Amino acid sequence: MSTTVVEDKVGHPFLQRSALVAAALILVLAVAILAGVRYGLMLMIGLGFGLALEGLRFGFAGPWRAMILRREPSGILAQLLAIGIVSVVAIPLIEMSGGELIGAQAPVGWAMIGGAFVFGMAMQVVMGCGSGTLVNAGSGNPVGLLALPFFAIGSFAGAFHLFAWTELGALPVIRFTGWSGAVITLVALAGVAVCFLRQAAPENRTISRRYVIAAVIIAVLALLNLVVAGQPWGVVYGLGVWAAKGATAVGVDLSGSAFWAAPESLERVQSSLLTDYTSLTNIGIMTGAFLVASWRAGGLSQKLPRLPLRAWLATIVAGFLLGYSSRLAFGCNVGAYFSGISTGSLHGWVWFVAAFAGSIQGVRLRPLLGLEARS
Amino acid sequence: MTRRVTAVTGLALLFALIVADFIGSPPNPYQQPAIVALGSGAASSGGFCGALPE
């Protein structure tokens, strides 16, 4: 994409930045008053995710691409570090909480594995995963902005058909629990890190300071998410609820879907978005990314890329597939990979392997679809 | 055209969604849960990516 920067004709930076911070605080306060303090806190946590992800350039799709193409493991090592920090606290805490906290636990199955593979492929096409698409949209990336509504529609559609897919066959939920679960997870994370380091080019066997800081911040925010909401950080469910609300507004009958007709799902669709945890953190991520892009000198002055029509069509298809496949996979890089592994679910590990294999294919597809210059 | 246009468009659409939803499904602050789930004594509830409804 073009990175040409044009002259930024905005007002005094201090006034502009003060207004941005004030607007964010007013937003949090408004949600706390209108919906409840817990929901205001969740929006604040979401803002923190957005600020950290965009401000420190911490992502998922980019580091996987760097490893696949250039054998640079720094970003993936940071992801593993963040997951490790969360797991050592979250896995024992969930067991001791007596049901007040739940993990991101889901069964490993055929549809789950296929969904993760397709998600990995699609996230490399648009260079954005679950959180990445929100960050990209918030920071003015037109590919992210176009992909996001189709991501939401895909998430709604995937959930609509979810029970049909799970009937293809799945194992029971397998979890690593308590202190032993935390130790198993840490050992496995260390093993994966060693594998990536062995694959890395010798000059790249490091982790940058920026990534370490980002990993610690993201881990703390993920733990706050768990403790405040009672459930781990997720993205895709909230996007599906947005589309479900839109679908019902235009007269779509949800009774044809076992998922959306279930009482718990109906309650979410009929309740305010400001009381849905994943919606609140999603809103926060997008808004936080916007704040950073506005704050950063030249952040919003980059010219928009000129892409061929097939690139925009590919973005629409990939956006839909991101949403659809991640519902089949019981989450995206956040809800399945990050939160799944860090709360002891086997499906997080299987998701990681399948999505990484899909990413290898997606990296090859991206230039063919006109989303970057062919090498 | 710069990213300012797309970023502002994205934020505007997001806040239009929130406002439309607020009008259609206003939250009730008198039914708010405990501030923090941990220690609240209440079982975790709410939709999540990994959860299948009963």
The percent helix, strand, coil of chain A (3-state, each to 5) is 70, 0, 25
**Contact assessment for residue A28 and residue A263, using Cβ atoms and an 8 Å cutoff:** no
- Predicted confidence at residue B46, as pLDDT, reads 82
Chain A residues in contact with B44 (beta carbon < 8 A)? 99-102, 229-231
DSSP H or E segment with residue A34: helix A13-34
Chain A residues in contact with B17 (beta carbon < 8 A)? 242, 273
Tokens of residue A327, six digits: 């519902």
Tokens of residue A164, six digits: 């049909």
Q: Which of A261, A206, A270, A205 is nearest to A241 (CA)?
A: A270
Indicate whether A279 pLDDT > 80. Answer: yes
Tokens of residue A336, six digits: 């399945």
Q: How confident is the model at residue A170 (pLDDT cuts 50, 70, 90)?
A: confident
Domain extent listing, chain B? 1-25
Give A341's contacts (C-beta < 8 A, 6+ positions apart): A83, A87, A185, A189, A348, A349, A352
- The rounded distance, in Å, linking the Cα atoms of A72 and A205 is 7
Residue of A300, A334, A341 to mutate for B, most B C-beta atoms under 10 A: A300
pTM for the whole structure? 0.94
Least CB–CB distance from B49: residue in A140, A301, A336: A336
B2: buried, middle or exposed (CB in 10 Å: 19+, 13-18, 0-12)? Answer: middle
Tokens of residue A247, six digits: 């679908």
Q: How far is CA A88 from CA A46, A184, A220, in A?
A: 22, 10, 12
CB contact under 8 A, A304 and B6: yes
The H helix count followed by the E strand count for chain A is 16, 0
Indicate whether A2 pLDDT > 50. Answer: no
Higher pLDDT, A11 or A112: A112
**Contact assessment for residue A326 and residue A236, using Cβ atoms and an 8 Å cutoff:** yes
pLDDT tens-digit map of A305-364: 889 999 999 999 999 999 999 999 999 999 999 999 999 999 999 999 999 999 999 999
Q: Which of A86, A104, A20 is nearest to A55 (CA)?
A: A20
- The rounded distance, in Å, linking the Cα atoms of A249 and A246 is 5
**What average pLDDT does the segment A60-75 reach?**
95
pLDDT tens-digit map of B1-54: 899 999 999 999 999 999 999 999 999 999 999 999 999 999 988 888 888 877
The ipTM (two decimal places) reads: 0.96
Q: Which of A332, A352, A208, A318 is nearest to A282 (CA)?
A: A332
Indicate whether A374 pLDDT > 70. Answer: no
**Contact assessment for residue A317 and residue A269, using Cβ atoms and an 8 Å cutoff:** no
Indicate whether A233 pLDDT > 90. Answer: yes
Looking at residue A274, the DSSP 8-state letter turns out to be G
| Partner A contacted by B23 (CB < 8 A) | no
Q: What percent of chain A has pLDDT over 90?
A: 86
Tell me which of A24-28, A177-181, A220-224, A295-299 is least confident: A295-299
Q: How confident is the model at residue A79 (pLDDT cuts 50, 70, 90)?
A: very high
| Partner A contacted by B34 (CB < 8 A) | yes
Q: What percent of chain A has pLDDT over 70?
A: 96
**Contact assessment for residue A323 and residue A154, using Cβ atoms and an 8 Å cutoff:** yes
Give A309's contacts (C-beta < 8 A, 6+ positions apart): none
- Predicted confidence at residue A299, as pLDDT, reads 82
